[in-house]
Structure 1
Amino acid sequence: MQAHLYTRICARLSRLSLMAAVAMLIAIIVAVQVQVVGRYVFNDTPTWAEGLALQLVLYVTALGVAVGVRDAGHIGLESLVALLPDAWRMKLEVLIHALVALFGGMMTWSGWLWTRLKWDERDPMLGLPVGLDYLALVIAGVLIVLFSIEHIVALIRHEEVIPSWN
């Protein structure tokens, strides 16, 4: 059976998020290496290296959290839910995903407010807008909402969300 369009879109977003996170992790390693070599070999640490590594950590974390929601890698009480009768279990699982979606929505909204509020300030190390720090929350929040909706739809259809790394 072919996956529904929404499921295929969410799977694609999740895979792209994973690939972006891996690329950013590699960039973090390179930035830290530049920083170490600059400090100990040339006695001159480039300021952009630390700023870039810190910026990328925010985005790697945000993308990792969102993918964790889709791939059910977040903290859960599976053993407690498994003990419930089927009718109660489905209702509780839908409620859990709805609450995660609500959290993602709040994350998106507050992240957007902070992004707009801090956009005109400049990061002294990179010269980029400080609002970029908070944009990671917006991206993660939107993805969390989308992935939570995918889980709710899958539960209603009695389907399973296949992890994006499969």
Structure 2
Amino acid sequence: MSFLKRPNDFLFRVLTVVASTSLAVLCLLVIYSVVMRYVFSDAPDFVEPIALLLVIVIAMFGAALKVREGGHIGLDSLVKKLSPKGQVIAAGIQHLCLMTFAVMVFIGCLDMAKTTMEDRIPILGLPEGLRYCIPVVASVCIAMFSFEHLLALFVKKQK
């Protein structure tokens, strides 16, 4: 199982650094924007499109990180009442659903990225498809993390 755990550990650390850095930059950017707008009456126009990209990074990579940690939303009160075998089955279904979700996000966002890559984000001049590339990366991570959890269920079951 280490064939998947090591790359996922590395990916987890990279996502953590990127999401944390994005959050810090977003905070600084918002403070800068507020000071410029209300103190100097000179609102920068580039803050909003950058902030939107950062929010997408934080939300999507944060979701992937929570999947790896096993901290996503669940119906624990129902699952805890199940037998141990039922709990394993519920966890397996949960990870299969997460992997299906990740595949759907991947397909949809990849299609949108291809469709909008020629368009430009106003003010920044970056490709509009960049907004959709972020969820593509996050969906791959979600699928890999869910697959790792699913394999762990089978390894525990066999022992």
TM-score (norm: length of structure 2):
0.91
C-alpha deviations, 1:9-65, integer Å up to 9, x for none?
112211211111110011111211221222123322221122111110111100001
Identical-pair percentage? 34
Question: Matched residue of 1:76: which SS?
Answer: coil
Q: How does 1:118-157 map to 2 (within 5 A)?
A: 118-157=116-155
CA-atom RMSD in angstroms:
1.6
In structure 2, runs of 5+ residues without a counterpart are none
Whole-angstrom CA distance in 2 between matches of 1:84 and 1:92? 9
Whole-angstrom CA distance in 1 between matches of 2:2 and 2:39? 55
Tell me how far 1:92 sits from its aligned partner: 2.1
In structure 1, runs of 5+ residues without a counterpart are 160-166
Count of aligned positions = 157
TM-score (norm: length of structure 1):
0.88
Which has the higher mean CA deviation after the structures are superposed, 73-82 or 142-151? 73-82
Aligned to 1:162: none
Q: How does 1:89-100 map to 2 (within 5 A)?
A: 89-100=87-98
Question: Matched residue of 2:57: which SS?
Answer: helix
- Answer whether contact 1:31 1:50 (CA < 8 A) is retained: no
Aligned to 2:42: 44
Aligned to 1:33: 31
Question: Matched residue of 2:46: which SS?
Answer: helix
Tell me how far 1:86 sits from its aligned partner: 2.3
Whole-angstrom CA distance in 1 between matches of 2:60 and 2:9? 17
Q: Which has the higher helix share?
A: 2
Whole-angstrom CA distance in 2 between matches of 1:53 and 1:99? 31
